[in-house]
Amino acid sequence: MSTTPLRALPLETLRRRSSTKWRTYPEDVLPLFVAETDYPLAPAVTAVLAEAVASGDTGYTPADPGIRDAFAGFARRRFGWDVDPAGVRSTADVMMGVVEILRATIRPGDGVVIMPPVYPPFALCTDEAGGIPVSVPLTDTGAGWEIDLDGVDAALAAGARAILLCNPHNPTGTVHSAATLAALAGLAERHGAVVISDEIHAPLVADGVVYTPFLTAGASAARVGFAVTSASKAYNLAGLKCALMVAADDATMRVLAGLNPEVEWRTGLFGALAAVAAFDEASDEWLDALRAALAENRALLGALLAEHLPRAVYRTPDAGYLAWIDLSAYNWGDDPAAFLLDAAKVALHHGPQFGAEGAGYARLNFGCSPEVLTEAIARIGAVARS
């Protein structure tokens, strides 16, 4: 039985929101930049938050708010991944988890492999943790993006001691194969390095795409790896501040257990309550409806670009609601988003912020209504034709 796609909220409702997406630009700008979505919350999330407000449940987050077991159940249902709740700890957000794991596993000045074009905080948080970003760009095969395993091997041989993996990848939407992840784990183990895998977009992998949680990609991956994830991207809960750090080996579990207690105290109570509700089986129907809506928008975006921006290069992402679009053929400079904000009144994310490999690119968030997406691409197309 097909799933009815989730419908986005109307613009007049969205413009009453106070989040970054809706308060950064004036009302004549269509905001398709930051990773927030325009859909109503999952009903179970709304219910638990409303009850918390009604009862004044706004205190400190308890040591075990139920999120370990909730995530383990979700991972088993959705990914076939058996997570030991004992290997799960929480914190405020994914990048905070990355910083704290780096601090626990590298020495100041150690190299940390990042794979641009990649989420801009990867480099910033490496700096915060005392590491030095070592760029090993993804390889553009002409059909997609792949990890440069030889480049990673060389970086580790030169002294890098950690790898920041993004899987599913932001901004390209790439889901790396199990074989690639196993090979990456083998390199890390051979060189005495760790892999920290940001898997925040995993709940939104497209139908027909095989997603492999890094920690399941073989014995080496379990020994060298940490996963960091959250309900925040799929369920639009970023402001509630709750993320999970996951380990699957006795040694890596000890690393998480040894983190400063403040790391876990930073978990937001509303974030924990909402995440438990999101990961519950009762929210699976909502998640499937969201995934159906995003599948339609992935296809719609391709059709709109073919119609209005035929020289743009767009590869349908394997996951998520972020599109990485090469606009260099239009000669709008290294940062097309900066030009289009003024020329088209459409806010996209700036390609060069994802690394030098982002020159000529922009990232577009299609987690919106088909009508908003259509209007945005029509506006950009009008600029291209002028």
- 46-73 tens-digit pLDDT: 999 999 999 999 999 999 999 999 999 9
Same domain, 267 and 209: yes
For residues 377 and 301, give the distance between their C-alpha atoms in angstroms, rounded to a whole number: 8
Q: Say yes or no: 186 and 329 in one domain.
A: no
CATH of the domain at 349: 3.90.1150.10
Angle of the 149-157 helix axis to the 178-191 helix axis, nearest 10: 10
Let me know whether 57 and 141 are in one domain: yes
The helix/strand/coil state of 376 is helix
Among the candidates 253, 282, 311, a domain finishes at 282
In a domain, 2, yes or no: no
Pick from 255, 282, 309: which residue ends a domain? 282
202 and 184 fall within a common domain: yes
Query: Do 310 and 223 share a structural domain?
Result: no
Rg (CA), the chain: 20
Give dist(CA 324, CA 349) in Å, integer.
10
As to burial, measured by CB atoms within 10 angstroms (0-12 exposed, 13-18 middle, 19+ buried), residue 88 is buried
Q: Is 348 in contact with 354 (CB distance < 8 Å)?
A: no
Report the domain count for the chain.
Answer: 2
Distance between CA atoms of 196 and 166, rounded to whole angstroms?
Answer: 8
In a domain, 24, yes or no: yes
State whether 289 and 189 are in the same domain: no
In a domain? residue 6: no
Residues in Cβ contact with 82 at an 8 Å cutoff, skipping those fewer than 6 apart: 72, 75, 76
Together in a domain, 162 and 237: yes
Amino acid at 213: P
- Burial zone of 241 (CB within 10 Å; 0-12 exposed, 13-18 middle, 19+ buried): buried
Q: Do 315 and 348 share a domain, yes or no?
A: yes
Amino acid 312: pLDDT? 98
Residue 299 lies in a domain: yes
Q: Where are the alpha helices (DSSP H) in the chain?
A: 11-14, 20-23, 43-54, 67-79, 94-105, 121-128, 149-157, 178-191, 219-224, 232-235, 250-257, 261-265, 269-279, 284-308, 336-343, 370-385
Q: How confident is the prediction for the chain on average, in pLDDT?
A: 98
Expressed as residue numbers, the domain containing 65 is 47-282
Residue 198 pLDDT greater than 90, yes or no:
yes
SS3 state of residue 238: helix
* Antiparallel, parallel or unpaired: β 194-198 and 162-166: parallel
What percent of the chain is predicted at pLDDT more than 90? 99
Dist. CA 75–CA 52, nearest whole Å = 26
For residue 2, name the pLDDT band (cuts at 50, 70, 90): confident
Are 352 and 241 contained in the same domain?
Answer: no
Q: What are phi and psi of 299, to 5 degrees?
A: -70, -40
185, 218 Cβ separation under 8 angstroms: yes
pLDDT at residue 133 tops 70: yes
Q: Let me know how long the chain is.
A: 386
Beta pairing class for 194-198 and 225-229: parallel
Are 22 and 88 contained in the same domain? no
Q: Which residue has the tokens 């991972």?
A: 75
Neighbours of 104 (CB within 10 A): 18
CATH number, domain with residue 65: 3.40.640.10
**Does residue 357 fall inside a structural domain?**
yes
Residue 1 — very low, low, confident or very high, per pLDDT cuts 50/70/90? low
Say if 183 falls within a structural domain. yes
Same domain, 162 and 295: no
Confidence of residue 382 (pLDDT cuts 50, 70, 90): very high
pTM over 0.95: yes
- Interhelix angle 43-54/269-279, nearest 10 degrees: 150
Is residue 195 pLDDT above 80, yes or no?
Answer: yes
pLDDT of residue 328: 98
3 falls within a domain: no
Instruction: Let me know whether 250 and 365 are in one domain.
Output: no
- Average pLDDT estimate for 138-159: 97
Q: With 90 as the cut, is the pLDDT of residue 259 above it?
A: yes
